[in-house]
A and B are shown apart, each in its own frame.
Chain A
Amino acid sequence: MPRSPRQARSALAAAAALAAAALAACSGSGGAAVTAPTKEPAGPFVLKVAYGSNYVFDTTGLTQKWWQQVAAEFKASHPKATVQFIPIPGSYNDIVTKLSLLYRSASTAPDVAEIPTGQIGLWAQAGYLLPLNAYLKSASWWSRFPRVVQSEGTFSGQVYAVDQGENDSALLYNKQMFAKAGIPLPWQPKTWQDVIAAAERIKARLPGVTPLWLNSGTGSGANGLLQGINNFIVGSATPTIYDARTGKFVVDSPGIRAALSLYSQAFARGLVADTSALFSPNAVTTPLTWFQQGKLAIAVGSNYYGGNWTKAISAPYWPQAPKVMGEAVIPTEAGGGVASTLGGWDFAIAAHSQVARAAFDFINLAENQQNSIDAANWAGWVPPDRDYWTLPAYTSFAPPYNAFFAQIMPHATLTPSNAAYSVWVQGMGEATGAIAQNPRTTVDQAIAILKGYVTGQLGADHVEVLH
């Protein structure tokens, strides 16, 4: 307990040292030597494999089971290999932060890593990832990936990552509630106004039920946008979020205005959940429980909902789900069509991996029929290989949702993979959050929040307005 000024000052110095040390610890070493990847060693070798241990797959048990199953097949064909797992606990941001730190030094970079789609561009640009084009020539599965899925890991013609599984979006709705509200089934809205109209009817006929779930606010970061407003932006006449030609972010466009206007209507008419639920860090998975409890009628939701209600995943277990829950594609702004975001997880090899050939063999096994479908079922994905979309092993895991969401995938639009996207995410989260907190927020005000934030962070020369 410092009593004298001198002691107080040394306490202050200690506090300053802690703050500074914490900052310094964030930095690590600066440069990394550039070496060409060498051939596979003849003797025993270690293959380092990093993956998210409790976020990517639906349960930790299934995570372990899946990676060990791939590793066992790999060991069978590479007897001299030792697979060293680097499980990364925590959620999206924790995994990205940990991988960023591992990649900063060639000695800690994992040979094979499970990385989120949104990070491929940054890590490729930083020189962390190995171009896989030469290896993919011999991979039969690669040519069966839809073009949009192939393009998510491709930058300037080089493929830096291959998809492990994808998430896309659609509308999920409670058929029993729709019947009670007198809305004809099966429901397929033609326009965004049809969605609002259905929600209003639910509100009028079924008091106590939250009519519509729209993710909003900054609490769930990029995931909240992927399973929220971005679906409407990519379904608008101006779907661009990041303009790759100019290298600028779009902060105002007719499409963004249309999507914000939809949000504004839904919040102003009281069709959505309260801020306690929307701003919770668990917001994106809340509709799963609310649907099961009969508290929610419609959600802009994701492909993994169906799988989560199965007994295998039980998050939560809801055997009646296929009877109760219907599915409909999100229409585009123009009416009809299919609007959906696309994002998932990928495999990548470290640029300086000494065992790149073996690392690709590992990925090759992970992409085979059994492993790819298991991953899709256990993590709640659509498998990237279109041959698997109709196989019973995939479709019967969570019928009818798995088959339905596979059909949406080729029409979906990728999330920007750019260093500054997280800034746009924060700006858009603040814009939708402002509407959620105060439904009288106008579209102009919401646009001003987005534009002000992104411009302030990136500079006026990195943003653009589309007309």
Chain B
Amino acid sequence: MTARPGAPAPAGTGAGAGEAPGPAAAAQAPGRPAVPQGLRRDAERFQWGSLALLVPSAALLAVLFIIPVVYAFYLGFTNLQLVGIHAVDWHFTGAENLRRLAGDQVFRYSMELTLAFIAGSVAGVVIIGLALAMLMQTALAPVRIVAGGIVIVAWMMPAITAGMTWYASTTAGGTFGTLLGLANSDFLHREPLLIVTLANIWSQTGFAMMVFGAALRNIPRDLLESAQIENASRPQRFARITLPLLRPTIVTTVLLITLISLANFGLIYVMTQGGPGNATDILPLYSYQQAFQFDNLAYGALIGNALVILCAIFGAIYVRASRSRA
């Protein structure tokens, strides 16, 4: 971080190296009563009887979450099939599926595709969503309402509609080719991963725009105004005030877009069914293909488990990222 003469940190910020402006310091509320170490702050409110009230939700959690998760992980280590001999007569097979997974080239390729799809989607959604949200702040009210409406309609569209729209526009004779003067170009089957990633960005951006719009409205105007009085340029204000204040929102949005994109099975299934070949066969599609096309329910479950672990890793990274500054 280079020190910038002429752009001092906003008032009220701690002096530390020009970093960590605003929120941390502002959020500190001195004057809270001191609490003795080791004593729960809510001790006087805790009652043993309240445990009984927790039972229904605990039971729901166990039945709908803990048991299925454990069972799904177990299924990944069996030879269960959808049809065939092992549909009825199936058993635990130890690490056999794991060995198969380790040597499965399609799985490795599918993992690479998944990471590329997620990275592209997240970058696209956050950048375009933030850009739209900022443009909307300065736009005239009618423009804002109309443009916002259009973007949100794209977000609200069911995956199947979005998928069909993109399928129709990116194949031969589609809108894309016609607008570019290449009416017979088959963009979808020439650059399949790029096109499905764009379709996903298109369908998620409205969500990011709404979230960023709300967060931008919460940025105190006096901070920006005082920076402006101190001669901070527009990029400086964006980099030093807006972006740091948006950080928790960005981290949360990135996490949500990651999870929503991984769950956006329908969009890719409608557009390419994982094809052509396996060029868009990201993990959820490969899991489905193994379970329902090749009838290997157990192996499909194992790929699903890998997907859950991947989600958990992403989640952990994002949670860390948001915690390190918040």
- A residues touching B (Cβ–Cβ < 8 Å)? 1-5, 8-9, 11-13, 15-24, 26-27, 30-32, 93, 97, 100-101, 103-104, 119, 122-123, 125-128, 217-219, 221, 274-277, 279-281, 419-420, 422-423, 426, 429-430, 433-434, 436-437, 449, 452-453, 456-457
Contacts and interface: CB of A to CB of B under 8 A. Distances in A.
B77 to A, nearest CB: 13
Contacts of A126: 83-85, 87-88
A100 B322 CA distance: 46
B295 A419 contact: yes
Interface of B: 64-65, 68-69, 71-73, 75, 80-85, 87-90, 103-106, 171-173, 184, 186, 188-190, 211, 248-249, 251-252, 255-256, 259, 263, 272-278, 287, 289, 291-295, 297, 300-301, 304-305, 307-308, 311-312, 315, 318-319, 322-323, 326
Q: Which of A5, A31, A104 has the most CB of B within 10 A?
A: A5
Nearest to A436: B276
Contact of B105 (A279, A429, A456): A456
A128 to B, nearest CB: 8
Nearest to B210: A1
A160 to B, nearest CB: 13
Contact of A1 (B75, B83, B211, B300): B211
Contact of B277 (A4, A5, A12, A430): A430
A456 B300 CA distance: 15
A419 B189 contact: no
Contacts of B295: 100, 122, 419, 422
A20 B75 CA distance: 11
Contacts of A3: 248-249, 252
Contacts of B248: 3
Closest 6 CB pairs of A and B: A276-B172, A12-B315, A276-B171, A24-B68, A20-B69, A17-B65
A127 B80 CA distance: 15
B318 A8 contact: yes
A422 B292 CA distance: 10
B71 A27 contact: yes
Given A3-B252, A19-B307, A433-B277, A275 B186 contact: yes
Given A218-B273, A274-B172, A437-B276, A422 B85 contact: no
B110 to A, nearest CB: 12
B122 to A, nearest CB: 15
B173 A276 contact: yes
20 contacts: A1-B252, A4-B326, A11-B255, A13-B65, A22-B304, A23-B305, A24-B75, A26-B292, A26-B300, A30-B80, A122-B84, A125-B84, A128-B83, A218-B273, A219-B273, A276-B172, A423-B294, A426-B293, A456-B105, A457-B104
Nearest to B323: A5
B71 A100 contact: no
A450 to B, nearest CB: 11
A3 B277 CA distance: 40
A78 to B, nearest CB: 30
Given A30-B88, A126-B83, A419-B84, A280 B171 contact: yes
Nearest to B81: A419
A276 B189 contact: yes
A21 B62 CA distance: 12
Contacts of B88: 30-32, 104, 126-127
Contact of B304 (A19, A101, A277): A19
Nearest to B301: A23
Contact of A23 (B65, B75, B90, B211): B75
Given A11-B256, A23-B304, A218-B277, A5 B189 contact: no
A130 to B, nearest CB: 15
Given A23-B72, A30-B88, A456-B106, A9 B275 contact: no
Dominant secondary structure of chain B at its interface with chain A: helix
A127 B106 CA distance: 31
Contact of A437 (B189, B252, B293): B189
Given A122-B83, A122-B295, A274-B186, A30 B275 contact: no
Contacts of B89: 31
B294 A457 contact: yes
A123 B68 contact: no
B104 to A, nearest CB: 6
Contacts of B252: 1-3, 8
Nearest to B91: A30
Contacts of A11: 255-256, 259
A453 B64 contact: no
A93 B292 CA distance: 8
A9 B313 CA distance: 11
Contacts of A127: 88
B273 A8 contact: no
Contacts of B82: 26, 97, 100-101
A423 B104 CA distance: 14
A370 B224 CA distance: 83
Contacts of B69: 16-17, 20
Contacts of A15: 259, 263, 311
Given A15-B263, A219-B275, A426-B293, A27 B318 contact: no
B315 A104 contact: no
Given A27-B301, A93-B293, A453-B106, A18 B84 contact: no
A5 B300 CA distance: 31
Contacts of A275: 186, 189-190, 276
A80 B224 CA distance: 83
A97 B295 CA distance: 9
A333 B60 CA distance: 63
Contact of A452 (B105, B172, B287, B301): B105
Contacts of B322: 5, 8
Contacts of A104: 87-88
A422 B272 CA distance: 18
Given A126-B88, A127-B88, A422-B294, 4 more contacts: A12-B259, A20-B68, A23-B72, A276-B171
Contact of B75 (A27, A97, A221): A27
A458 B276 CA distance: 21
A434 B277 contact: yes
Contacts of A26: 82, 291-292, 297, 300-301
